[in-house]
Amino acid sequence: MLTLRRVQELQDRRSLVRLADGRVGKIIRVDTTFPANKTEVSVYTLGGPGPGVARVSLELLTGESEPV
């Protein structure tokens, strides 16, 4: 699992990230609600089945991905 600070660094660098289900994409938005401290990340996924933008919880990001 990535920290919020690491997610923001990856977003700023426009690095690719990998989701828990194997999809790869770029972070386009990070939303955190307070006081619940729940973070949702919008990821533009590259290719593959499903929608082009996935909105997932922070826990579903597994890490940085190699370029495709």
- List the CATH number of the domain containing 47: 2.30.30
Indicate the number of domains in the chain: 1
Give 2's Cβ-side CA count (13 Å radius): 26
So what's the pLDDT on residue 68?
65
Backbone torsion region of residue 50, taken as left when φ is above 0, otherwise alpha when ψ lies between -120 and 50, otherwise beta: left
DSSP state of 12: H
51 preceded by a cis bond (ω within 30 of 0):
no
Cα–Cα distance for residue pair 25/62, rounded to 1 Å: 12
Q: pLDDT tens digits for the chain (68 residues)?
A: 788 899 999 999 999 999 998 889 999 999 999 998 899 999 999 877 767 899 999 999 999 998 76
Q: What's the predicted TM-score (pTM) here?
A: 0.84
So what's the pLDDT on residue 39?
93
- In terms of residue numbers, what domain contains 29? 4-64
